[in-house]
Structure 1
């Protein structure tokens, strides 16, 4: 008798229990981030500073003295390379308020992903670059494309003047390019 009663009460509990309590909830698999086009409200160019800026100091002159010189950073839009199916970006510099004649210039390309992140795909650097720009006085970041789907790219350029303290800013430019790279 006890066995029949236990079986019946279990059956009643099962029949009366809400379906959601007996089965694990069905959830959609998280969408995997893929390269894509950045939303229109993203900035197409800008400056990333690794210092707190002049507003932290009592005057622009004090900020300039503490931060050192300010080189002029040159950066172009990411674009399809003329040498093949690749995305590339260039970086260069001019002296600005700096006095030394060489700098370490680094250009890095970042691809936009649908989770809102920018992922680095390529960098190029020259530790002894003279100011000026042009094909002989610039660095190139370049990466071969996997497909020619339109994708948003950013070219970040950092200039560190040799032997001088400088402002430490990184300039960037952004553009949509017919080049997509899924692998990191």
Structure 2
């Protein structure tokens, strides 16, 4: 794999619903070199098997900090995915790097399990400095 990552591999936060709890998960922002882009993936997990057979829509936002403010620079979504992550079971957001200067990044993920009412909570990653600016 030819990219730059640091710290923990993923960020996760539990979301309580009427039917139980599921986790909104994302990896940290990483830089791919072929092509040269900032990228992040989002998915969901069902650790307590509360939603067996259910699928969810996952929306991931890639955000860049400029002049002290966060701006969503890319958004990706994937509908009808099973829990667990991995190829085919996650949403991706990416944007091209303009220079190798350090930039400050974060991401947000929102999971909506089909037929399940949950609070409109987005999980936000910690900010990360990467050799990619836009």
TM norm structure 2: 0.78
| Match for residue 102 of structure 1 among 31, 38, 55 | 55
Q: Distance in 2 between matches of 1:101 and 1:64?
A: 14
Q: 1:70: how far off?
A: 2.8
Q: Does 1:153 align with 2:105?
A: yes
Q: Distance in 2 between matches of 1:167 and 1:82?
A: 37
Q: Which runs of 5+ in 2 are unaligned?
A: 1-10
What is residue 35 of structure 2 aligned with on the other side? 84
Distance change (3 Å), C-alpha of 1:83 and 1:69? farther
Higher strand share: 2
Q: How does 1:127-166 map to 2 (within 5 A)?
A: 127-166=79-118
Distance change (3 Å), C-alpha of 1:170 and 1:80? same
Distance change (3 Å), C-alpha of 1:162 and 1:83? farther
Distance change (3 Å), C-alpha of 1:46 and 1:162? closer
Q: Which runs of 5+ in 1 are unaligned?
A: 1-44, 50-62
What is the RMSD of the two structures over their aligned residues, measured on CA atoms? 2.3
Q: 1:83: how far off?
A: 3.4
Of structures 1 and 2, the larger Rg is shown by: 1
Q: 1:96: how far off?
A: 4.5
What is residue 37 of structure 1 aligned with on the other side? none
Higher helix share: 1
Distance change (3 Å), C-alpha of 1:131 and 1:46? closer
Deviations 1:164-183 (A, max 9, x none): 112432112231111111xx
TM norm structure 1: 0.58
